[in-house]
Amino acid sequence: MKKDRKLLEYSKDKSQGLSLKSMQKDQRTMIFRRRRLGIMFASALLVFSLIGFNLFRNSQHLLTLKESRGQVEKEYKTVAKDQKNLKREVDLLNDTEYVEKIARAKYFYSKEGEQVYSIPDLNSSTQTSGNK
């Protein structure tokens, strides 16, 4: 019977020791899992914040590009209009009659037998008299 008691006692102590060890092991695994979960949460938070920051920065860049596009389109319209006017002027300068007319008006050239009389503009005479 003593052997039975020893076995019972031994198994009783052993079972208590195992339960304590298993509880400690369970606590360690629980702590390990919590730490791992915390690290995963922190890394996910970091990744999402980086993505959010990049999205915000890209949206701001897109807004500035849209503003500059509007300015460029306005500038393009004025340049296209100027180009159209210059093309028309080039076509007119290829016409000899138009060139002769401009030369007579600006530089007082004349054909043979013509006399050129310079008449001052009314606007320029009123401006000079107004300044006196």
Look-up: residue for tokens 């922190």? 42
Q: What is the pLDDT of residue 104?
A: 80
- Predicted confidence (pLDDT) at residue 99 exceeds the cutoff of 90: no
Query: What is the tens place of the pLDDT at every residue in 22-62?
Result: 888 899 999 999 999 999 999 999 999 999 999 999 999 99
Which residue type occupies 8? L
Enter the DSSP assignment of 114.
-
Asked whether residue 117 is domain-assigned, the answer is: no
Asked whether residue 118 is domain-assigned, the answer is: no
Q: What CA–CA distance (Å, rounded) separates 125 from 120?
A: 7
Per the CB < 8 A criterion, the answer to whether 92 and 86 are in contact is no
Percentage of residues in the chain having pLDDT higher than 90: 49
Q: What is the pLDDT of residue 8?
A: 47
Asked whether residue 6 is domain-assigned, the answer is: yes
The structure tokens listed for 121 are 């503009």
The structure tokens listed for 33 are 């899992």
Q: What is the pLDDT of residue 128?
A: 54
Q: What is the pLDDT of residue 68?
A: 96
Q: What CA–CA distance (Å, rounded) separates 19 from 27?
A: 12
Enter the DSSP assignment of 117.
-
Give the range of the structural domain holding residue 69, as residue numbers without chain letter. 1-110
Asked whether residue 20 is domain-assigned, the answer is: yes
Asked whether residue 27 is domain-assigned, the answer is: yes
Number of domains composing the chain: 1
Asked whether residue 73 is domain-assigned, the answer is: yes
Whether pTM exceeds 0.75: no
Asked whether residue 115 is domain-assigned, the answer is: no
Element (H, E) at 121: none
Lowest-confidence pick of 55-59, 72-76, 97-101, 115-119:
115-119
Asked whether residue 55 is domain-assigned, the answer is: yes
Query: What is the tens place of the pLDDT at every residue in 71-90?
Result: 999 999 999 999 999 999 99
